Amino acid sequence: MINLTDKEKATLMLGVYFKTQAAIEKYLGPERLKEWTVYVAKQFSDNIKEKSSFQEEIEAKVIRELAEVLTVYGSDYTFTEDDKKITLDVNRCGIFNYRENAQKKGVELTLRLPCEFCADFRTKIAEQLNLD
C-alpha cells in the first residue's frame, strides 16, 4: 500500500478529476458539452434537494459547495456568513491556475476558458433549484 499525505491525496484526486473533465470536454465537443452540463447539474441539484428541504438551506449548500471547490483549487476568495446572508467574493479562481499548469504539462484542453463549463454548470444548478 502506498502511504500518501493528505496533500498528496488531494493533488492526486484533483489530477484525476481535471483530466477526466478535460477528456469529457474533448470527447463531447462544445455542442454536446451543454447537454452534459444540464445532466450533471440536474444530478447535483437532485442530490441537494434530497438533503435539504428549506430554500435558505439549499442556497447555503450551493454557495458552501462552491467555496469548497474553490478551496481545493487554492483560489483567492472571501467567504462571509451571518444569520441573514452568505457572501462569496472570488478574487482569483484557482481553477485558472490549475488549468494553466496542467496545459503546460501536456493536458489537452478543449475549452478556451474553464468558465465556459463552470459558469454554465453553476447557472444550470441555480435554475434547477430556483435560485437567482
Query: Which residues face 10 on adjacent strands?
Result: none
- Segment 55-84, tens digit of pLDDT: 888 888 899 989 998 988 889 999 998 877
pTM surpassing 0.85?
no
Q: How many domains does the chain have?
A: 1
Asked if the structure places residue 7 within a domain, the reply is: no
Asked if the structure places residue 119 within a domain, the reply is: yes
- Residue 90 in contact with residue 77, Cβ under 8 Å? yes
State the Cα–Cα distance between residues 69 and 90, nearest whole angstrom: 12
Distance from chain centroid for Cα 53: 23
- Segment 88-113, tens digit of pLDDT: 999 999 988 888 888 888 877 788 87
What does the block give as the cell for 115?
Answer: 468558465
Asked if the structure places residue 19 within a domain, the reply is: yes
Asked if the structure places residue 27 within a domain, the reply is: yes
